[in-house]
């Protein structure tokens, strides 16, 4: 992820986390962070399965967790949701896909999330900086 900074005086935007708090090259106003931007994926980057959810409901919950962490997600399933709303012999399973460069981190996030919701470990909120 890369920070996008904006000049509080002229509104010009620049990319780079090292620019936060520095002066705008055009008007000398202070640059403040306005957003985090993920770099575009490489066109030749592979997409891999990071988890196989038993149904679309769990897949959607995991998608939200991964996307909140900045990971692009796609689904792969054999049937249309709404036609078969249940899983029989894996028929309703949903493959959760991510970029190969983010797969290891995505798998860790999914496993941490599943441990947390299964009750194997208590909820521990992350400390805010």
| Mean pLDDT, all residues of the chain | 78
The Cα angle at residue 69 between residues 86 and 101, in degrees rounded to 5: 90
Give percent of the chain with pLDDT exceeding 70: 72
**How far from 16 is each of 11, 101, 111, CA to CA, in Å?**
16, 21, 31
Which residues are paired to 77 by β-bridges?
A: 94
Give the pLDDT score at 123: 47
Residue-wise DSSP of 72-129: --EEEESS-TTT--S-STTTT-EEEEEEGGGHHHHHHHHHHHHHHHHTSS---PPPP-
Q: Which two tokens stand for residue 69?
A: 């962490």
Distances (CA, A) of 8 to 4, 5, 18, 76, 80: 13, 9, 16, 44, 48
pLDDT in tens, 14-55: 777 677 777 888 887 887 766 655 667 778 889 999 999 988
> Is a pLDDT exceeding 60 seen at residue 98?
yes
Helix (H, G, I), strand (E, B) or coil at 33: strand
User: What gap in Å lies between CA 48 and CA 95, rounded to an integer?
Assistant: 9
pLDDT tens digit sequence for 16-25: 767 777 788 8
pLDDT > 60? residue 125: no
pLDDT at 97: 94
Instruction: Compute the distance between CA of residue 101 and CA of residue 114 in angstroms, rounded to an integer.
Output: 22
Those residues whose C-beta lies under 8 Å from the C-beta of residue 42, and which sit 6 or more positions away, are none
């Amino acid at each position: 992820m890369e920070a996008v900074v904006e000049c509080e005086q002229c509104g010009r935007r620049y990319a780079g986390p090292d620019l936060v708090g520095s002066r705008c090259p055009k008007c000398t106003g202070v640059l403040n962070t306005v957003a985090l931007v993920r770099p575009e994926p490489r066109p030749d980057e592979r997409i891999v399965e990071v988890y196989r959810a038993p149904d679309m409901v769990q897949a959607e919950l995991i998608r939200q967790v991964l996307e909140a962490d900045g990971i692009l997600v796609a689904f792969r399933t054999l049937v249309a949701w709404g036609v078969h709303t249940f899983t029989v012999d894996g028929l309703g399973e949903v493959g959760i896909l991510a970029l190969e460069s983010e797969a290891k981190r995505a798998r860790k996030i999914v496993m941490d999330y599943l441990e947390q919701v299964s009750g194997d470990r208590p909820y521990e909120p992350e400390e805010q900086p």
